[in-house]
Structure 1
Amino acid sequence: MTDASRVGLALAYNCAQVLYPEGLSGASVTGRQVVLRRGWLLPSDLFAAQNIRNNIDFVTVTMAPRKMPEWAEPLGRPWRVQQKVESTVGVVVADGTVEIVFSGTFTPAGVVAVWLDDMPHGGAPSAAYAVTAQDTPATVAAALAAALTDGVASGVTVRVPGRVLNGHAGGYGQSVRVTRRQAQLYRVSIWTADATARETLASVLDTALAEQSWISTLDGREAQLRFQSVDDVDTMQNEALYRRDYFYELVFDTLQVQWASEMLCGIGNLSGEGGAAMSFGELAPGGANQTVTAALDAMQAVVAAQAAATAYPGLGVDQFGTVVAAA
């Protein structure tokens, strides 16, 4: 997911890549030091030793308060499967026990469920576990056994003494829907004490952003970039401070993301002859087990961080909004 603040940060990262083509450790396109920030200038930028008047230029990215056109999200806000992860984990059920099996050639992934199969339908205790890349068959077996009353893990095998255990493994997927589509206006401001430096910075930034219709956002998606206007702000020339504002409209989606596993456990009723109800299936794992959706959401957080690192490698931001080299 993304929001207006993080889209602005993505725009700041984009500007940093333009002005520092070799990374922040290299030279800027002007040869001067350029500080990029998601947010306004700080008092220290004007009055501290390292400031605009000491041949340091600043580029800030802020949201501009202007009425923007409304963009309608898809009618009905339909859910769509955006990503699906196939299971590389399996189970072998034999003699009332469940053995966890990993493929030797793939990264472990999937969701494993086990349940007692010798109780009346509709009441069978069960457990589920979302497998991570760091897991082994033994750790999965141990986690499942711990979630079952009287469960025992013997290496890669799960059992409940005196009971019949069954199991199944499946993949999981990410479903996404657009809850809001919006347009937000952003101001990219150049601040410098050198009028010629302003022209150079402006030319480089304007040319580079003019070539881009889309920029990568920090959740692995994209936002549409549209130029709106440009304005020189020379009211501070008496203080030897030159500024130029570029305005860009960015159109992006606010998303609702839901991870879910394939059908592993379930319960239902059928109407038999004479209206008699017939139940089937097993209860889904309860609160005592690992929360599978929470585990999958945690995986998504890792995926999102990897997406940001891929789109803007080597870039991070400090507590003041300044773009810095990632640790």
Structure 2
Amino acid sequence: MTDASKVGLALAYNCAQVLYPQVPSGVSVTGRQVVLRRGWLLPSDLFAAQNIRNDTDFVTVTMAPRKMPEWAEPLGRPWRVQQKVEPTVGVVVTGATVEIVFSGTATPVGVVAVWLDDMPRGGEPSAAYAVTAQDTPETVAAALAAALTGGVANGAVVSVPGRVLNGYAGGYGQSVRVTRRQAQLYRVSIWTADTTARETLASVLDTALAEQSWITTLDGCEAQLRFQSVEDVDTMQNEALYRRDYFYELVFDTLQVQWASEMLCGIGTLSAGEGLSAPFGVLAPGAANQTVTAALDAMQAVVAAQAAASAYPGLGVDHFGTVVALGS
């Protein structure tokens, strides 16, 4: 899920990639030190050792207060599946037992469900377990057996004496829907004490952003980039400070994201006419299987972090809003 602040940060990361092709730990395209910031200038930017008057240039990205056109979200706000995480864990059903198996050296991920295949006679008829990277087939089998009434784990094999056990392993799916579509104006400002440096920075940034109609947001989605206007702000010439503002409209979606596992088991009734009906299936795992919910929350956080890392590798931001190279 993204918002106006995170979209502004994505724009700042974009500018950093333009000015520092080798991320901020390298040399800028102008050969001078350029500080990228999501936010306004700080007092230290004017008076500290590293400041505008000591051959350091600044580029800031801020939201501009201007009325923007309204954009309507899709009618009905429909849900759609955005991505799937396939399971790397599986089950082998042999007779009345279920064996847990992992796929080679891949990181274990998925949800395993086991259930009594004969009609339940009280107790817990089914159980589910969300597999984590620290699990082994034996730990998964033990967790499932503990959740079943009379369940027994023998290594990676789960059984219930005197009962027929079945099982299935599934992955995760991420469903999203657009709750709001909006346009926001952003100001990309160049600050320098050297008018020549301002022209060079402006030319590089303007040319690079003119080629981009879309930028990747931190949640792995896209925002439309539209140039609006540019202006010089030379009211601070008496302080030997020169500025140029570029204004860009970004159109983006605010998304509601929901993770869920694949359907593992359920219950229903088949009807063939009056008085002819037959139940099938088993009840889904109950409240005792809260580990599934916890795993889904963790999955959402991990995938969101991976999306940001893949779009802008090596980039982060400190608590002042300055774009920094991670690990430097």
Q: TM-score, normalised by structure 1?
A: 0.91
Deviations 1:89-112 (A, max 9, x none): 332233533211233376544321
Is the alpha carbon distance of 1:199 and 1:122 closer, same or farther for their aligned partners in structure 2, counting shifts above 3 Å? farther
Query: Which region of structure 1 is more displaced relative to structure 2, 144-153 or 39-48?
Result: 144-153
Question: Conserved in 2, the CA contact under 8 Å of 1:168 and 1:264?
Answer: yes
Aligned residue-pair number: 327
1:318 equivalent in structure 2: 318
Contact conserved, 1:226 with 1:249, CA < 8 A, in 2?
yes
Q: Is the Cα–Cα contact under 8 Å of residues 127 and 289 in structure 1 kept in the other structure?
A: yes
Distance 2:224 2:14 in 1: 13
User: In structure 1, the residue corresponding to 2:72 is in which secondary structure?
Assistant: coil
For 1:275 and 1:161, how far apart are their aligned partners in 2? Answer: 34
Question: What residue in structure 1 maps to residue 50 of structure 2?
Answer: 50
Query: What does residue 266 of structure 2 align with?
Result: 266
- Kept in 2: contact 1:228–1:248 (CA 8 A): yes
Check the 8 A contact 1:173/1:260 in 2, yes or no: yes
Contact 2:99 2:158 in 1 (8 A): yes
Question: What are the superposed Cα offsets for residues 51-89 of structure 1, whole Å, 9 maximum, x if unpaired?
Answer: 212221111111111111111111111111222334443
The residue aligned with 2:159 is 159
Contact 2:124 2:147 in 1 (8 A): no
SS in 1 for 2:301: helix
CA drift at 1:120: 3.6
1:285 matched to 2:298? The reply is no
What SS class does the counterpart of residue 76 from structure 2 fall into?
Answer: coil
Question: Which residue in the other structure is 2:125 paired with?
Answer: 125
Matches of 1:290 and 1:301, distance apart in 2: 17
Q: Which is further off, 216-225 or 258-267?
A: 258-267
Change (3 A) 1:240 1:255: same
- Partners of 1:122 and 1:282 within 8 A in 2: no
Report the 3-state secondary structure (helix = DSSP H, G, I; strand = E; otherwise coil) of the residue aligned with 1:13: helix
2:185 aligned partner: 185
Query: Separation in 1 of the partners of 2:321 and 2:45?
Result: 13
Q: What is the alpha-carbon distance in structure 2 between the residues aligned to residue 41 and residue 280 of structure 1?
A: 66
Is the partner of 2:209 in helix, strand or coil? Answer: helix
The aligned counterpart of 1:30 is 30
Are 1:228 and 1:247, in contact at CA under 8 Å, matched by a contact in 2? yes
Q: Is the 8 A contact 1:265 1:282 kept in 2?
A: yes
1:122–1:172 Cα change, 3 Å: farther
In the TM superposition, residue 306 of structure 1 has moved relative to its aligned partner by 1.9
Letter paired with 1:287: A
The amino acid of 1:9's aligned partner reads L
State the SS of the aligned residue for 1:69.
Answer: coil
> Is the Cα–Cα contact under 8 Å of residues 123 and 149 in structure 2 kept in the other structure?
no
Supply the distance in 1 between the matched residues of 2:39 and 2:152 (Cα, whole angstroms): 56
Residue in 2 aligned with 1:202? 202
Equivalent-residue separation in structure 2 for 1:313 and 1:86 (angstroms)? 24
* Unaligned 5+ runs, structure 1: none
Paired residue type of 2:93: V
3-state SS of 1:248 partner: strand
Query: In structure 2, what is the Cα distance between the partners aligned to 1:122 and 1:44?
Result: 70
Distance in 1 of aligned mates of 2:280 and 2:121: 6
1:220-258 superposed Cα distances (whole Å, 9 cap, x missing partner): 121111000111111111222111111101111111222
Letter in 2 for 1:78: P
Q: Deviations over 1:12-55 (max 9, x none)?
A: 01101111112212111121111111111112112222221222
Residues 223-234 of structure 1 aligned to structure 2 (within 5 Å): 223-234=223-234
Report % sequence identity.
Answer: 88
